[in-house]
Chain A
Amino acid sequence: MSGLRSWAARRLLLGAAQTAAVVLLVFALTEALPGDAAVALAGDQPDPERIAAIRQAMDLDRPAHERLLEWAAGLPRGDFGTSLASGRPVSTYIADGFGPTLLLASLTVALLVPVGVGLGVLAARREGRLADRLVSSVTLGAYAVPEFAFGVLLITVFALRLGWLPPTAVGYGTDLLAHPAALVLPVVVLLTRPVCSLARLVRAGMIDALASPYVAQARRYGVPGARVRYGHALPNAITPAAQQLARTVDWLLCGVIVVEALFVIPGLGTVLMNAVAERDVPVVQGLAVVFGVTTVVLNLGADLVARRFAPRAEMAA
């Protein structure tokens, strides 16, 4: 138990270091501009008035470390600064985009686990046969396909040729739940990569577990097949997958940005892309901190859960 506790403490420490690194990195990458930051950010309209306004809004006359400290101190209070483009607080941008993104992400995660585990178990039970070869090849092939290319093909088939689903979420506003048809394609596209990764891991873990001595022993005792599979083999097969779920979080965040751009969904990804296009640095910084810290926290959670289920598994911390 003390081993677990000290491991958890070290893992929490790493999480804290990662959070601090995200904040530092976001600040450094966006503020370490060559030359005069205000001139660089003014971009296409470098009139002196705009440059002066940017310099004032971002306090560029003060030394960088003072600005970093002040900005970082505001973050826990939800004070992310104000937008250069509109003068509104960055937190209102985050609040606006939060709903659709949360809906997309939670729908995806809710479907990801049953679909991924289901496919993996199916393939493992039919190892070497047609169903397994089909699932294995498709999950391997689809695993690295960029969401935008896959999504555009789905739009062409299901929205354009067949006319079953709307091609984008344009005109539905932020209340997407009222228009479930508009959510089908985005969620399918978001699911593809994580499902493939999860199914492959569960399949491999399940095949190992089903070949293990304890499963053979349970069979000898006459424990029913379903109970051996789902009660004994599956929990052991899921552990490596749970650790990998953390990596899926990274993909999900990348995927959300792409899928929102592709289907014109007004979520955090769209807000981020607009801010990047407008060089609205405070908004980009705020969203990057939200995305980055979410990743760190979810990674931490996944590691702690995985460790709880399989304390003997080796994990870096």
Chain B
Amino acid sequence: MLKPRFVLGAVIVGLPLALALLGPVLAGEPGPRAASFTLGGGHWLGTDFVGRDVWRQVLLGGRSVVLVALAATALAYLVALPLGLISALTHRGWLEELLMRPLDVLLAVPSLLMILLVAAVLTPGAAGLALLVALVNIPDAARVVRAAAAEVASRPVVEALRLQGESWWRTAVGYVGRSVGRTLAADAGVRLTGVLYLVATAAFLGVGVEPDAADWAVMVDRNRTGLFVQPWAVVVPALLIVALTMGGNLLADAALQKRRRT
């Protein structure tokens, strides 16, 4: 049985996600540039600040947000998973302290601030932005992994495996790693919406994107000057971002509650 919130989330997130993934295929060749901020004239949603067709930009602009967010989430776990597993399974207190304490300290730095600091001296591209967002997510992700793994590691099964003389690798990856998978899948959903927020906000502030990039967040920023003449160039991408994050969060929460109940 599907919960209504699950369906609601899926419906809300469906449109922006479909646009983001299929849009670039449907966009076609760019037409000739028209005047800035006009309505009509064969342009379904008018033109943007440099006279490009807004509908085409909308079709193209979702992919970067979604792909950067997915890459950043995956990267964060790539680092957090071994960190958390090792510190949960080690019997050396100093090793755990060495791995986790620096992360406690890092948790205090506001995430957007860290991204802006790097942006002040380098000009990160899309890959750089993904790396940065992943970096600020590592401390929290590692703590979640460690907490989940510590719970599993205290089970009698792990003790039995150890007494049987199974290798550390088989215990850590084969048993503990597999058992925390479900918890982490739920956490990944919530983290992905947080990452989407950060990626979109950074793009809005001009970090990790070209100033005229086809990106929903950049469109909102650049077309703001024409809000009074041509609101569609701002409202449509803004609505798509709202739908993407809102639906994603409803979906992640519904999935999380299903897990808790079973």
Contact = CB atoms under 8 A, between A and B. Distances in A.
B121 A29 contact: yes
A141 interface: yes
Interface stretch (A68-76, A98-106, A237-245, A273-281): A273-281
A156 B231 contact: yes
A73 to B, nearest CB: 21
A291 B197 CA distance: 20
Contacts of B205: 257-258, 261, 273
Interface residues of A, number: 53
Nearest to B228: A160
B120 A147 contact: no
B204 A144 contact: no
Contacts of A276: 116, 119-120
Contacts of B121: 29-30, 33, 37, 40-41, 279, 281
Contacts of B172: none
Contacts of B111: 250, 254
A66 to B, nearest CB: 20
B48 to A, nearest CB: 14
Interface in B70-123: 104-106, 108-114, 116-122
A148 B217 CA distance: 8
Interface residues of B, number: 50
A25 interface: yes
B154 interface: no
Interface stretch (A14-22, A113-121, A181-189): A14-22
B34 to A, nearest CB: 23
A21 B200 CA distance: 27
Contact of A156 (B114, B118, B234, B248): B234
Contacts of B137: none
Interface stretch (A220-228, A292-300, A305-313): A292-300
B120 A17 contact: no
A152 interface: yes
Contacts of B217: 146, 148-149
Interface stretch (B19-27, B37-45, B53-61, B239-247): B239-247
B235 interface: yes
B5 A257 contact: no
B250 interface: yes
A267 interface: no
Contacts of A145: 197, 241-242, 245-246
A284 interface: yes
A164 interface: no
Interface in B209-249: 217, 220-221, 224, 227-228, 231, 234-235, 237-239, 241-242, 245-249
B238 A149 contact: yes
Interface in B174-197: 193-194, 196-197
Interface of A: 14, 17-18, 21-22, 25-26, 29-30, 33, 37, 40-41, 137, 140-150, 152-153, 155-156, 160, 167, 250, 253-254, 257-258, 261, 272-273, 275-277, 279-281, 284, 288, 291-292, 295-296, 299, 316
Given A148-B238, A258-B204, A292-B110, 15 more contacts: A25-B114, A29-B114, A41-B121, A137-B250, A144-B197, A145-B197, A148-B217, A148-B221, A149-B237, A152-B220, A261-B204, A279-B120, A284-B120, A288-B113, A288-B116
8 contacts: A22-B108, A141-B12, A149-B220, A152-B235, A160-B227, A253-B112, A277-B206, A299-B108
